[in-house]
């Protein structure tokens, strides 16, 4: 589906835009990172910017674990509460996703993204329960923090400090902005970050 859409759009635009300008743009949209961005955008539209279905798709200990609505660990990663929430997360996803995908490939990037988001979400729910906080979490920032953890761990264990850290430092700014906003789930940010770092250590550098 994505390939056919890209090819059709490419053929139309190539009549007006030189290939040396068009090719880099379209090559980036063929990446797993941009596929994830596209899915998040579609979910944002379908939920009317997070104004509907947030309670049904968000994640909390009460709903996801106690009531065994396990699907919430997945759906919560693609629901955003407003355009600014989406914009911050997608800008950070593009930077971090491209770094991980370039270093490990598309499949590994998806595994890191989904794995850190899901495991980090479960751990965050348990910690929230221990703190007697039954908040409902939404957004891709947990999985994105997991990608940051992958890059930081890979950089430190593999090549020492490098330019990757600079990119992560830039990409973490939107997450910090979200972190200081009202209702932000910083616990999930930290659990997903360390999950991503541990996944990198055990899956890549074991």
| Positions marked active-site | 141, 189
Count Cβ atoms within 10 A of the Cβ of residue 78 and give its class: 0-12 exposed, 13-18 middle, 19 or more buried.
buried
Structure tokens at 134: 């039954």
**Cβ atoms 155, 200 nearer than 8 A:** no
**Cβ atoms 118, 191 nearer than 8 A:** no
Tell me the residue length of the chain. Answer: 206
Structure tokens at 138: 């939404």
């Amino acid at each position: 589906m994505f390939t056919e859409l890209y090819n059709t759009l490419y053929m139309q635009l190539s009549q007006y835009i030189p290939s040396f300008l068009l090719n880099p743009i379209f090559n980036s949209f063929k990446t797993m990172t941009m596929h994830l961005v596209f899915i998040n955008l579609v979910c944002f539209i379908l939920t009317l910017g997070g104004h509907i279905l947030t309670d049904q798709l968000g994640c909390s200990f009460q709903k996801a674990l106690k009531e065994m609505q396990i699907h919430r660990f997945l759906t919560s990663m693609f629901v955003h509460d407003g355009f600014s929430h989406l914009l911050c997360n997608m800008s950070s996803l593009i930077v971090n996703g491209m770094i991980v995908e370039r270093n490990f490939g598309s499949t590994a990037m998806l595994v890191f993204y989904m794995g850190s988001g899901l495991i980090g979400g479960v751990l965050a729910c348990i910690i929230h329960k221990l703190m007697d906080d039954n908040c409902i979490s939404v957004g891709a920032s947990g999985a994105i923090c997991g990608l940051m953890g992958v890059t930081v761990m890979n950089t430190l264990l593999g090549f020492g400090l490098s330019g990757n850290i600079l990119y992560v430092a830039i990409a973490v700014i939107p997450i910090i902005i979200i972190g200081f906003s009202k209702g932000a789930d910083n616990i999930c940010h930290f659990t997903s970050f360390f999950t991503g770092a541990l996944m990198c250590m055990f899956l890549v550098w074991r």
